[in-house]
Chain A
């Protein structure tokens, strides 16, 4: 196999999806599932075999035609998309009892959008794939159309993301007016100066990617959409869709806006995102929402790494994306298992429900530890690399953020096996509970093996990334920050010669990671037993302080508020880029 065209990675799933949607009603369910799984698996495998280079549509010469570009970073992301989609579809083999190939079709189209976004070398094409994954995403989030919540989450997702996409289109229009080209590489070759017009274009183009990445204050839709989407879909949403937003930001900045210094702006946005995500994560009792906010916290970490824009930081966050996708995917699937067995995703309702099936709680605890940064998980490897690349105070905040998100998951795992007293089930008026979530299956007494295999495979994958420390991730990191190398690859067909960043464990990374995991366990135990603390100590821990309550009220679920926040975010980003 010498050349494998990236066109197949995008077109393949679309063709299969169309066939399945037409023929699905006559085909037996296992055939539909089998074909869909084979297709996504092929996408994942082909990601590894794609040869670096650019393929332009219609045989136009480089610089004129619209290219699909394979480089280190897009290969890794395509592999990740294919792998996660395969696991998600395997999980849903027995999950949805009455689907009519719509679900598989939507997932395949979604995969085409995700893969296309990662491969596209043209700004407008990126937007088109962004819209494709968006439209499929809205439909998948609102897949349970009989459920009131799910509809609200899907609609909010749709409106906020579409508005973000239109603002990106305005930015693309401004760039085109100035340069007369839409390709990333030719735009980079135009060497835009660092003036106000360039800043305006950068801010507008970034808006869509930031909304997709759920960077504060563009993040509001994410928790609503993740809380209501079917759990296998959450795996794709959290694992690749949100990180692809960060990828778009990193790619467009490195290739097109290299003249702009956005270090301060992105570090500030990233830190605020990380801290807010971690705080909101700890407050949740709906486990899916808890995991969604945890994703926002980790996205914040990725954005801080993008701000540094060194090959090492870049390799670090891409490693973290892969490691995090495995862990977060496994956790979402475990919540799916709990929903199938107990009909709830509420932490308090589920308390003690896993006394007899400790395996599920143990896997969840393992996921929590991996999120906190326990070596040798891939997430810990990536986090270690990021923390070495950023200033020390920033690294401390990022470590604490990881500890908090890990501790929140560990708290759920402890309560699942009935450790510690359960808080009184008070009526919540500011918070979404996990009650009344519609089952996605018939009640399952015995778990089918495909449902347990998913979380185990994903956790294993994250572990494998940490143990093997694959060099492709280093090459991916270097490729993503090397704007000039990208231009040479696309316009001249010259593969980059810069040596890949090293992806390896460091002593400090191992020590900090292990310590973080220990602290997370202690925090989780503290949270679970908070009710039994002596009164003196308990007073020190305010249960509901005003700031926290205010923070929760901000997440109002109202689409108008979310749109207002998008504009606040645009203004803030613009001001930060201009002043920073």
Chain B
């Protein structure tokens, strides 16, 4: 069943991935490029959560009724999203650290000005 909410969620996910990638493409600042990468990744969060969404379902914490007593949203995609957030934090931190070091060594954070590697 395709509801308006599903369309909006999948559309937003697609938009975020594409706009994030476009941000890296047109970036003139490495900090901006790294943040754009995070934007692209946010698209994957929305996609995953949209996949697990169910109308009128609650959070996946089972109460006294036990499994099956109330409809819950899919906990697997939530676990995947959390894993993804952890990975994102690590990678973003690492890339920003590299950017700081690039600013020290190259004297610039403009990707257009990094001309050391080519050919």
Q: Do A and B bind each other?
A: yes
Known: A131-B87, A142-B101. 13 other contacts (CB 8 A): A138-B94, A138-B98, A145-B101, A148-B105, A151-B102, A152-B102, A169-B48, A173-B44, A284-B119, A432-B116, A432-B118, A555-B119, A559-B27
CA distance A289 to B34 in the complex (A): 26
A430 and B80 contacting across the interface, CB-CB below 8 Å: no
List chain B residues, Cβ under 8 A from A177.
51
Q: In whole Å, how far is A302's beta carbon from the nearest beta carbon of chain B?
A: 25
List chain A residues, Cβ under 8 A from B55.
none
Whether A283 is near chain B, meaning CB under 8 Å from some CB there, is yes
A166, A284, A552, A564: which contacts B25 (Cβ < 8 A)? Answer: A564
- Chain A residue, CB-CB nearest to B116: A149
Whether A349 is near chain B, meaning CB under 8 Å from some CB there, is no
List chain A residues, Cβ under 8 A from B33.
159, 559-560
CA distance A539 to B33 in the complex (A): 46
A147 and B105 contacting across the interface, CB-CB below 8 Å: yes
A173 and B24 contacting across the interface, CB-CB below 8 Å: no
Main secondary structure of the interface of B (DSSP, over half): helix
B24 and A560 contacting across the interface, CB-CB below 8 Å: yes
Closest 9 CB pairs of A and B: A431-B119, A557-B117, A557-B118, A148-B105, A177-B51, A552-B119, A560-B25, A149-B116, A173-B47
Whether B90 is near chain A, meaning CB under 8 Å from some CB there, is yes
Of the four ranges (under 10, 10 to 19, 20 to 34, 35 or more), the interface on chain A belongs to: 35 or more
- Chain B residue, CB-CB nearest to A436: B116
Whether A461 is near chain B, meaning CB under 8 Å from some CB there, is no
List chain A residues, Cβ under 8 A from B118.
430-432, 552-553, 555-557
A139, A163, A169, A560: which contacts B111 (Cβ < 8 A)? Answer: A560
Of the four ranges (under 10, 10 to 19, 20 to 34, 35 or more), the interface on chain B belongs to: 35 or more
List chain A residues, Cβ under 8 A from B90.
135
Main secondary structure of the interface of A (DSSP, over half): helix
B117 and A224 contacting across the interface, CB-CB below 8 Å: yes
List chain A residues, Cβ under 8 A from B44.
166, 169-170, 173
Q: In whole Å, how far is B38's beta carbon from the nearest beta carbon of chain A?
A: 9
- Chain B residue, CB-CB nearest to A549: B119
A149 and B98 contacting across the interface, CB-CB below 8 Å: no
- Chain A residue, CB-CB nearest to B83: A128
List chain A residues, Cβ under 8 A from B76.
176, 182
Within 8 A of A (CB), among B22-45: 24-27, 30, 33-34, 37, 40-41, 43-44
List chain B residues, Cβ under 8 A from A155.
30, 95, 98-99, 102
CA distance A227 to B98 in the complex (A): 17
B21 and A173 contacting across the interface, CB-CB below 8 Å: no
CA distance A283 to B24 in the complex (A): 29
Q: In whole Å, how far is A148's beta carbon from the nearest beta carbon of chain B?
A: 4
CA distance A148 to B106 in the complex (A): 6
Whether A162 is near chain B, meaning CB under 8 Å from some CB there, is yes
CA distance A145 to B44 in the complex (A): 31
CA distance A558 to B112 in the complex (A): 7
Q: In whole Å, how far is B94's beta carbon from the nearest beta carbon of chain A?
A: 6
A167 and B95 contacting across the interface, CB-CB below 8 Å: no
Pairs A–B under 8 Å by Cβ, sample size 15: A131-B87, A135-B94, A148-B116, A152-B102, A158-B95, A162-B95, A163-B24, A166-B40, A166-B44, A169-B44, A169-B84, A172-B80, A176-B76, A182-B76, A428-B119
CA distance A167 to B101 in the complex (A): 28
List chain A residues, Cβ under 8 A from B94.
135, 138-139, 158
Whether A376 is near chain B, meaning CB under 8 Å from some CB there, is no
CA distance A552 to B48 in the complex (A): 40
Asked if A138 meets B95 with Cβ closer than 8 Å, knowing A163-B40, A431-B118, A560-B27, the reply is yes
CA distance A170 to B47 in the complex (A): 7
A176 and B17 contacting across the interface, CB-CB below 8 Å: no
A142, A283, A566: which contacts B98 (Cβ < 8 A)? Answer: A142
A128, A135, A167, A176: which contacts B77 (Cβ < 8 A)? Answer: A176
Asked if A563 meets B21 with Cβ closer than 8 Å, knowing A147-B105, A155-B102, A159-B95, the reply is yes
A153 and B17 contacting across the interface, CB-CB below 8 Å: no
Whether B114 is near chain A, meaning CB under 8 Å from some CB there, is yes
Whether A445 is near chain B, meaning CB under 8 Å from some CB there, is no
A173 and B48 contacting across the interface, CB-CB below 8 Å: yes
Q: Mark A157-192, 1 if CB is under 8 A from B, else 0.
A: 011001100110110111011000010000000000
Q: In whole Å, how far is B43's beta carbon from the nearest beta carbon of chain A?
A: 7
Whether B61 is near chain A, meaning CB under 8 Å from some CB there, is no
A152 and B24 contacting across the interface, CB-CB below 8 Å: no
Whether B91 is near chain A, meaning CB under 8 Å from some CB there, is yes
CA distance A128 to B83 in the complex (A): 8
Whether A474 is near chain B, meaning CB under 8 Å from some CB there, is no
A128, A152, A159, A284: which contacts B37 (Cβ < 8 A)? Answer: A159
Within 8 A of A (CB), among B1-36: 13, 17, 21, 24-27, 30, 33-34
B117 and A153 contacting across the interface, CB-CB below 8 Å: yes
CA distance A134 to B94 in the complex (A): 11
CA distance A541 to B49 in the complex (A): 59
Whether A316 is near chain B, meaning CB under 8 Å from some CB there, is no
List chain B residues, Cβ under 8 A from A151.
98, 101-102, 105-106
List chain B residues, Cβ under 8 A from A139.
94
Q: In whole Å, how far is B92's beta carbon from the nearest beta carbon of chain A?
A: 9
- Chain A residue, CB-CB nearest to B77: A176
List chain A residues, Cβ under 8 A from B47.
170, 173-174
Whether A117 is near chain B, meaning CB under 8 Å from some CB there, is no
